[in-house]
Amino acid sequence: MAVTFVERLPSNPTAMAALAESWTRLLEYVPLFLPLAVFMGTLLTSYNLTKSTENIIVASAGLSPYQMARPFLIGAALIGIIATTIINPYSVQRSAKNITSDHLVLIDDEIWLRESSQNGFITMNAKNMHKSGNILLFDNATIYIQDSTFKLTQRVEAKTITLSDSGLDASNATTWDKNGIPSHQDWHTDTLLTPRTVLDRYLQPDQISFWDLPEFIKKMREIGVPVRGHLVQFWTLLFLPLTMIAMATLGVAFSQTRQRRNYSFGVKFGIGIITCFAVYFMVNMFSALGATGIVPPLLAIIAPPLIIIAAAGASIASFDTI
């Protein structure tokens, strides 16, 4: 957050505005560092308990490693639940106040919108987009209007075209009629497109709140839009508590030791971090397979934490039976 704050100072009018933007960016990074934070927290806490011989005392009292790990697992699950149900919607709400083309799924790095109706078709191409209140502004935009037979009836070019609930508008636009004759004038047309429908359809999956994703996926399926990426995002958030439990279990497995002195924590910590990055790579690989349709989205999300829990549980069980 500190680094982002310094980077954003020149592009914001006040320090408070830069601080608010840094806070929003920090919330976007939560899914990235939260599993690593849970793993490191579990490992560090277990190390401190071992260093103070508290783990040894607890183990000698007859508690199994699974009973000793229960507080870690419950805490990790609660962190996952809070991240899914509270932090994610809050992050999406804050980031939605300043949506740019960076938040949209683009084609060839450009924005393309298309509306079809009984009267014809409207297609718009723009280089960039930003939001101002309830209005979307498209920069360096071109609009093609066709009739129901796909014949081009009008072409419009403008430096800025605005989309509001009342339709598309442009000031001092250059328009060409069906005969190719140009003119310069203010331009307006009614449209079924609204800022809300555009954002709902073209936002990336991580820009939609966990609570809104089920209804959004249902609507997108009805109009035939691919929703694999949104399904992966929904299952990722839904099973985030399970992922947190898996990382806590991995941390417990790496903290297993019977050494009361000369505990080589640095070596285990380093190996654990390397393993954590390997796990992160595996999770991303499965997510990519789910988004491309090679693996069912639900299986792509639930398989990695189950594999981690099984491997870490086997490690804990083998250590306990030595």
DSSP labels for 130-196?
EEETTEEEEEEEEEEEE-TT--EEEEEEEEEEEEETTEEEEEEEEEE-TT--EEEEEEEE--S--HH
* Lowest mean pLDDT, pick from 52-61, 99-108, 142-151: 99-108
Count H helices and E strands in the chain, helices first: 12, 7
Can you say how many angstroms the Cα of residue 163 is from the centroid of all Cα atoms in its chain? 26
* CA within 13 Å, CB half, 231: 21
* Highest averaged pLDDT of the listed ranges 3-12, 193-202, 214-223, 252-261: 3-12
- Of residues 309, 313, 287, the one with CA closest to residue 300: 287
146-187 pLDDT, tens digit each:
988 888 999 999 999 999 988 899 998 999 988 888 999 999
What is the average per-residue pLDDT within 28-39? 85
How far apart CA 48 and CA 201 sit, in angstroms, is 49
Helix (H) or strand (E) holding 113: strand 111-117
- In this structure, the number of other CB atoms found within 10 A of the CB of residue 186 comes to 11
How far apart CA 184 and CA 156 sit, in angstroms, is 10
199-241 pLDDT, tens digit each:
766 677 877 889 988 988 887 776 566 788 889 999 999 999 9
How far apart CA 262 and CA 117 sit, in angstroms, is 75
Give the pLDDT band (50/70/90) at residue 97.
low
The residue whose two tokens read 């002195």 is 261
DSSP 212: T
How far apart CA 2 and CA 294 sit, in angstroms, is 40
- Of residues 222, 199, 204, the one with CA closest to residue 291: 204
Return the percentage of the chain with pLDDT > 70, whole number: 90
